[in-house]
Amino acid sequence: MTACAQQTAAPGKSIAQLRADFPILAQRVHNHPLVYLDNAATTQKPQVVIDAIADYYTYDNANVHRGIHTLSERATAAYEGAREKVRAFLNAASTAEIIYTRGTTEAINLVAQSWGRNQLQAGDEILITALEHHANIVPWQLLCQQTGAVLKVAPVLEDGTLDPAAFAELLGPRTRLAALVHVSNALGTINPIADMVAQAKAAGALVLVDGAQAVAHEPVDVSALGCDFYAFSGHKIYAPTGIGILYGREALLDEMPPWQGGGDMIRTVSFEHTEYADLPWKFEAGTPHIAGAIGLGAALDYFRALDQAALAAHEQSLLAALTGGLTGIPGLRIIGTAPNKVAVVSFVIEGAHQADIGKLLDSLGIAVRVGHHCAMPALKRFGVTGTVRASCALYNTVEEIERFAGAVTRVREMLL
Ligand code: PMP
């Protein structure tokens, strides 16, 4: 039995068997078996998700909410059924709190423009961290330009963990919102998000959590967490691109004005007055990504049926293999060595450009991401403008990581 077949992540299912659920993984790239280590950018889709999307278009395709015919009723039931699956996944109190968006980016922009633009005044503060993805920086910068609010940034320590003292110090009476990344996409750091939320709430701020990198790796319970908003993207958790979620506390969403206007978000419209639809539809103007929502529901069904404790143990073995395999390669520096990390490793090699490393790894069938990972300020903190990043998902194996580490050694020798 191979090491790969021995790793298990689902009751009665080995990692090798789980891999078979993802048809894309079976291919060869440049005549090598594909090793896909770009999962922080996007994850691959299991056949059940692909089938759910294909079935929807094959049998049920119709617009939602508006039709009285059978196909529209089926499409609506599937679309709204997926919302309930998301509610259960996040442990939100009600489906009224689950808003479909295009992804994390759109969810954060929705909060910035609907809540922030109406609530913030000059001198109010928004606190983020130095680990944020651009999606949790730029919307707040735009909001600051619009309102005169001020963006504050909590620094990170040398190992890529948040500086807890500085974070506590930056939270003050002027902090109206803390917008915090749960797991860093660039470094893999898992933030102590429950503590951070509790501290920010105690300081009187609202809290938005960017959960894009967390949902497939960390348990998320928005009720226990007590955050006001939680955003994530379907495509980071084995669902399609173009669909994401904004969770918001119902009382807060109720008070917020719509962000976009159009069909589906209204109850009545006249030229004099428009009455908006109830939650969550008030925030879902226009024909939504119906197939995407259905695919997200299927992905969450798939993911939640897996043994989460086994997945977490598997992830830690991948992280150990990654860190162990790369440590000791001459001139290689791992950026982000926090004690609490997901299986993401960012690194640079002295004298070798990341783009060349990435291209040569691709020629060996290994997919990694190189560049700034949409987190330029986080990398700047470590004195680099880009890294090579290997990021794992549930279907990666220790054997693949060993192949990857061997390939990095070879590529380094080719380049230097
Ligand atoms: N935040 C984090 C931490 C991310 O990793 C990403 C995606 N790389 C985003 C936000 C943005 O997600 P999306 O592009 O799916 O909207």
DSSP 156-167: B-TTS-B-HHHH
Give the atom of ligand 1 at the shortest distance from the alpha carbon of 106. 16
Are the C-beta atoms of 180 and 129 separated by less than 8 Å? yes
This prediction has a pTM of: 0.97
Give the atom of ligand 1 at the shortest distance from the alpha carbon of 233. 15
Residue 6 scores a pLDDT above 90: no
Residue 4 scores a pLDDT above 90: no
The rounded Å distance from CA 108 to ligand 1 centre is 10
H helices present in 173-258, as ranges: 193-202, 222-225, 250-255
Mean predicted lDDT score pLDDT of the chain:
96
The pLDDT score that the predictor gives to residue 2 is 36
Among 4, 144, 227, 374, which one carries the catalytic annotation?
374
pLDDT single digits (tens) 153-197: 999 999 999 999 999 999 999 999 999 999 999 999 999 999 999
Q: For residue 200, which phi and psi values (nearest 5 degrees)?
A: -65, -40
Report the amino acid identity of residue 249.
Answer: R
Judged by DSSP in three states, 201 sits in helix
Helix 47-55 to helix 290-304 angle (10° resolution) is 150
The rounded Å distance from CA 40 to ligand 1 centre is 9
Give the atom of ligand 1 at the shortest distance from the alpha carbon of 104. 16
Confidence of residue 51 (pLDDT cuts 50, 70, 90): very high
Q: Which protein residue's CA is at the shortest distance from atom 6 of ligand 1?
A: 212
Nearest to 19 by CA among 305, 290, 394, 359: 394
**What token pair was written down for 367?**
């997919």
d(CA 290, CA 57): 10
Are the C-beta atoms of 157 and 163 separated by less than 8 Å? yes
pLDDT single digits (tens) 55-83: 999 999 999 998 899 999 999 999 999 99
- Testing ligand 1's pocket by substitution, the residue of 101, 183, 213 carrying the most ligand atoms inside 8 A of its CB is 213
Residue 1 scores a pLDDT above 80: no
Residue 374 a catalytic site member: yes
Nearest to 39 by CA among 339, 248, 335, 345: 345
- Testing ligand 1's pocket by substitution, the residue of 110, 133, 191 carrying the most ligand atoms inside 8 A of its CB is 133
d(CA 5, CA 357): 30
The rounded Å distance from CA 315 to ligand 1 centre is 20
Are the C-beta atoms of 44 and 22 separated by less than 8 Å? yes
**Radius of gyration of the chain, Cα coordinates, nearest whole angstrom:** 22
User: What are the chain's domains?
Assistant: 3-33+308-415 (3.90.1150.10), 50-304 (3.40.640.10)
Residues with CB under 6 A from ligand 1: 103-105, 133, 135-136, 181, 185, 210, 212-213, 233, 374
Nearest to 388 by CA among 354, 362, 359: 354
The rounded Å distance from CA 106 to ligand 1 centre is 10
Judged by DSSP in three states, 197 sits in helix
Are the C-beta atoms of 375 and 407 separated by less than 8 Å? no
**What token pair was written down for 298?**
């299927």
pLDDT single digits (tens) 255-298: 999 999 999 999 999 999 999 999 999 999 999 999 999 999 99
The pLDDT score that the predictor gives to residue 66 is 80
The rounded Å distance from CA 366 to ligand 1 centre is 22
d(CA 61, CA 342): 38
Residue 7 scores a pLDDT above 60: no
